[in-house]
Structure formats: C-alpha cells, structure tokens
Amino acid sequence: QLQLQESGPGLVKPSETLSLTCTVAGGSTSSSTYYWGWIRQPPGKGLEWIGSIHYSGSMYYNPSLKSRVTMSLDTSKNQFSLNLSSVTAADTAVYYCARKTVGASNPFDSWGQGILVTVSS
Amino acid sequence: QSVLTQPPSASGTPGQRVTISCSGSSANIGSNTVNWYQQLPGTAPKLLIYNNNQRPSGVPDRFSGSKSGTSASLAISGLQSEDEADYYCSAWDDSLNGWVFGGGTKLTVL
C-alpha cells in the first residue's frame, strides 16, 4: 500500500526558502506511470495545486507560483522535494504531497498526511 | 478567488439526499473530466469521485458524480453523520496548464 510522508521545517522566516521532502513507501518515484505533486491549503481555506513532477523530468507548475517554485526527484532515496523561495505570510499552509497516474485528467489518488509550515519571524 | 465555483456550505438531515455543485468554464470542466475529494476534519483530502462519475474502490455507492457542459455535481444519498466534511471539485485547466480546485463546500449533517 502506497504511503507518502512529508517532512521539513515547520517554521520558515519571511524572504527565506521553504524546503520540503516527500518520502514514498510502497511505490517507486522512478515509475513512468506516475506524476508526483504538491498541493497546499492555507489555514481555513481551500486547496491550491503547486506543481507536479515526473521521473522523465517533465514538470508542471502553478503559473501563479512558477517564479518561486522548484521541484526535484531523488529516485535513489525514493523521495521528491519542493523548494519555494522568497516566502511571505501568505505561504503559511498545510503542504500535502500526492501521487497521480499519468494521463491528462487522472486525479491525485494518494495523499500524504500533510505538514503545517508557518512563515513568521 | 477559486477558478471553480462551489457553494460554501450545504446541509441535510440523516437519510436525505444532498447535491453540491461545481461551476467552471470551457477551459476546465468543459473540456476535461472532474474529480471530487472529501476532506474529513483534521485529515488529508481523499479521492471520492474521478473521471466525472467513477468511484475508487471502497467508496460507497451513496456517492455519485455527474457533469454537464461546464458544470458538475456531487450527490450524496442516504446522508450519514460521517459524511460531514469539506468537499472539493477539481479539474485540469487547459488555459492555465495546471490543476484547479473549487473553494470547497462544507457539508453539515443536521
């Protein structure tokens, strides 16, 4: 059974870079079948897709965040990562990692439990 | 402001049937399939409906989805107290080249 687990600092200072890692168990990040993604949810608000990455190197980023987002994949550790630069209080959110099957409209079918990241000095 | 529009709240009594709407445009719902997620309090979202009307294994058939034009709906029949949750619709947007979500609908079981 696939399990996804987010990890990283729970507190980031304004203007710094938020860095999170998602560790995958029960599945492989080197599979050509899946994209691996990040979605966030500000406290009390809705979901916002951040980006998705594929083993081949294909990546899609939310246009509103694209200038600040970098995603990478480490198949040796079965992990993928998110870097979000120049953070502000508006980036405070629960960050989820998730998996989706390749195919235009296929959904995110497995999610991590989420990690709360607070941006504050 | 979410790209997909959902009512902020919905409610029903046990046993009732409730529907939640999701309105979009030709760039998203009009040209791609719709997925629905259920988020129970304090937990991660869970896939509830995919490809407009398909249920993943383990999702009760009380949950159903439909799509027409640029709108979609989630229906829950035989409402139960454990259905109290937030529900989100989602679709790929061809103009944004990315995934968009509705703002979410908080379902209350009275």
Q: What is the per-residue pLDDT across B38-61, written as a single tens digit (0 to 9) for each? A: 999 999 999 999 999 999 999 999
**What is the C-alpha to C-alpha distance for residues A120 and A75, in angstroms, rounded to an integer?**
32
Tell if the CB–CB gap between A105 and B102 is shorter than 8 Å: no
Q: Would you give the DSSP letter of residue A103? A: S
Q: If pLDDT is split at 50, 70 and 90, which confidence band does A91 have?
A: very high
Average pLDDT, chain A: 96
Q: If pLDDT is split at 50, 70 and 90, which confidence band does A113 have?
A: very high
**A107–B contact, CB cutoff 8 A:** yes
- For residue B47, what pLDDT is reported? 98
Chain B residue whose CA is closest to A96 = B44
| Average confidence (pLDDT) over A36-43 | 97
| Average confidence (pLDDT) over A73-99 | 97
- For residue A36, what pLDDT is reported? 97
Of the partner residues B33, B37, B43, the one whose CB lies closest to the CB of residue A105? B33
CA distances from A111 to A14, A48, A49, A120, B3 (A): 27, 14, 13, 26, 22
Nearest chain B CA: its distance from A82 CA (Å): 17
Contacts of A111 in chain B (CB under 8 A): 44-46
| Average confidence (pLDDT) over A91-112 | 94
| Average confidence (pLDDT) over B82-103 | 96
Residue B101's nearest CA partner among B110, B92, A89, A80 is B92
Contacts of A48 in chain B (CB under 8 A): 101
Give the N- to C-terminal CA distance of chain B in Å, as an integer: 28
- For residue A103, what pLDDT is reported? 84
- Residue found by looking up tokens 């000095």 in the block: A121
Amino acid type, B91: A
Is A51's pLDDT higher than 80?
Answer: yes
Tell if the CB–CB gap between B92 and A104 is shorter than 8 Å: yes
Please check whether residue A100 is in contact with residue A53, taking contact to mean a CB–CB distance below 8 angstroms: no
With a pLDDT cut of 90, the percent of chain B lying above it is: 99
Give the N- to C-terminal CA distance of chain A in Å, as an integer: 39
Tell if the CB–CB gap between B91 and A63 is shorter than 8 Å: no
Average pLDDT, chain B: 97
Is A105's pLDDT higher than 90?
Answer: no
Tell if the CB–CB gap between A61 and B98 is shorter than 8 Å: yes
Helices in A1-121 by DSSP H: which ranges?
Answer: none
Q: If pLDDT is split at 50, 70 and 90, which confidence band does B1 have?
A: confident
**What is the C-alpha to C-alpha distance for residues A60 and A37, in angstroms, rounded to an integer?**
9
- For residue A104, what pLDDT is reported? 74
- For residue A63, what pLDDT is reported? 95
